[in-house]
Amino acid sequence: MKKLINDPRRVVAESLAGFGLAHHDLVRVHTDPDYVVRREPARNKVALVSGGGSGHEPLHAGYVGYGMLDAAVPGAVFTSPTPDQILPAVTGTDTGAGVLLIVKNYTGDILNFETAAELAQAEGISVATVVVNDDVAVEDSLYTAGRRGVAGTVLVERIAGGAAERGGSLEQVAAVAERVNANVRSMGVALAPCTVPHAGEPSFALADTEIELGVGIHGEPGRRRMPMAAADSITDQLLEPVLQDLGAASGEPVLLFVNGMGGTPLSELYIVYRRAVEVLAERGIRVARSLVGNYITALDMQGASVTVLRLDEELTELWDSPVHTPALRWGCEHGAGCAVGRELDACRSGGNGGEPAAAHRPGPGHRRCRPRGKHGPGLFRRGAEAGRRRNPGNSRRRAEAGGHDLNVQGRRRCGALVRYGVPAGLDGGGCGSGTRPCRRGRHACRGQGRHCCPWES
């Protein structure tokens, strides 16, 4: 076994510590017991709490943040978290509006989350539970009674999180989550097994010429083993039972989600996605939304899963609503849910007279920063003046060129933007690819992508 670990017994603890350091602007990691919460707790909304065994990253901790979870509870690798972990996550995130538990359908998860829910209810907290069981591969498995909860969990957490952010009641948010679960189906395939760190050997055996069709996210057996085939053939065999069980009709909009199991290159996932789109188009089913990548994994398993969610107007709107988590982010508006929510809120609240705080510092990863309005030319002029001071013997034209170079660097790195109060924390993976000036000195950002640079008007 070759893995970047120190002690197999410390994998979860050290990984959580690194996760907390990497995303300290978004989350706080509690230890003894282990659970993850938002850095800035939400107010007056239904709290969403989920969890399960580690090894499926970024699920669940990677989805803690605006528009998704309020807390995630990680167990040991492929092992359910215990009630004494889950309970403080529930009590610590309840704002009085109640807590929704999103639980994958595995026996250990069901029992432990049920116990925690009963203890929380005994303390006067309103708790509802939604069990995700989207896997069409098998009805019963090594760890389940009924269908397993797999990649559809990500979609349930995202859409239910959107419903909670817009102010829905506990009953309303739970109903949305149930509706997503009722309209989503998944199936996966393994090309090679995963290796659990403390076991030190593959979790199951597959010959070089074999694949496991319908595999679970812990390596549970699927529908059958079959010879390795071309990607299009495998995709067809994953998608057919999904569509047959889902019953999507011609002309119906769907969300198509191709997920990697942890050890599959993104290029191969796009090959699967391409074929899935072709099959859906042949049936007259319209792909209205998409997601491709490693969003619920099985350690280093080579393989993929295909998930289809039937959409309606409300579910589409909730999917598109702003989300800002370590692993999923788009559509931040007026700073809501941004990594720098505290700083943006401070600027919006007028705590500094509507002017940006000079103490704010930009992160090192800003790119695509595009100044608009009066600041663009101003930044250029100041850059040119700095160029002339730096090169007093040069001609004006060369100085302007030098100043322009500073301006470009400022735009790409935001190094020159500190005077404009660009808040800290936007160090790559910001909330949008475009920016706009906004009124009354408030920051705003919009767009979809990995970079954002708020500007004031």
| Domain shared by 30 and 170, yes or no | yes
Same domain, 414 and 348: yes
Q: Report the chain's mean pLDDT, rounded to a whole number.
A: 80
Same structural domain, 26 and 153? yes
pLDDT band at 203 (very low <50, low <70, confident <90, very high): confident
Q: Last residue of some domain: 329, 360, 390?
A: 329
Q: Tell me what pLDDT residue 142 has.
A: 64
d(CA 396, CA 405): 14
Average pLDDT over residues 121-146: 88
Q: Please indicate, yes or no, whether residues 171 and 267 belong to a single structural domain of this protein.
A: no
Judged against a pLDDT cut of 60, whether residue 152 lies above it is answered with: yes
Among residues 380, 371, 388, 370, which one has the least CA distance to residue 406? 380
In a domain, 453, yes or no: no
Task: Tell me how crowded residue 1 is: count the other CB atoms within 10 A of its CB.
Answer: 11
- The domain in which residue 407 lies consists of 335-446
Check whether residue 195 and residue 173 sit in a common domain. Answer: no
Per-residue exposure over 55-93, b if at least 16 CB sit within 10 Å of its own CB, e if not: bbbbbbbbbbbbbbbbbbbbbbbbbbbbbebbbbbbbbb
Domain containing residue 316: CATH number: 3.30.1180.20
Do 159 and 37 belong together in one domain? yes
Domain assignment present for residue 457? The answer is no
The pLDDT tens digits for 323-332 are: 999 999 999 6
Residues 174 and 33 occupy one common structural domain = yes
- Global pTM exceeds 0.85: no
Q: DSSP character for 170?
A: H
Tally the domains of the chain: 3
Q: 141 with 12, same domain? A: yes
* Within a domain: 1: no
What is the C-alpha radius of gyration for the chain, rounded to an integer number of angstroms?
A: 24
Question: So what's the pLDDT on residue 88?
Answer: 98
List the CATH number of the domain containing 23: 3.40.50.10440
- Note whether residue 245 is domain-resident: yes
DSSP state letter for 367: -
Question: What is residue 439's DSSP assignment?
Answer: G
| Higher-confidence position of 192 and 366 | 192
What percentage of the chain has pLDDT greater than the value 70?
71
With 70 as the cut, is the pLDDT of residue 144 above it?
A: no
Does any domain span residue 452?
no
In this structure, what token pair is assigned to residue 90? 């529930």
β-pair partners for 260:
304
pLDDT at 84 over 70: yes
pLDDT given at position 143? 63
Domain check: are 315 and 349 in the same one?
no
Regarding whether 240 and 148 lie in a shared domain, the answer is: no
**Both 120 and 203 in a single domain?**
no
- For 333-384, the DSSP string reads -TTTT-TTHHHHHHHHTTTTTTSPPTT----TT--S----TTHHHHHHHHHH
Residue that terminates a domain, selected from 293, 313, 329:
329
Last residue of a domain, one of 311, 329, 347: 329
Rounded distance, CA 437 to CA 144, Å?
Answer: 52
Residue 236 covered by a domain: yes
- Which range in 201-205, 318-322, 385-389, 444-448 is most confidently predicted, on average pLDDT? 318-322
- 440 domain residue, yes or no: yes
Residues designated as active site: 56, 218
228 and 299 belong to one structural domain? yes
Report if residue 439 sits inside a domain.
yes
CB atoms within 10 A of CB 33: 15
Q: Can you list the positions of beta strands (E) in 3-56?
A: 27-30, 35-38, 47-54
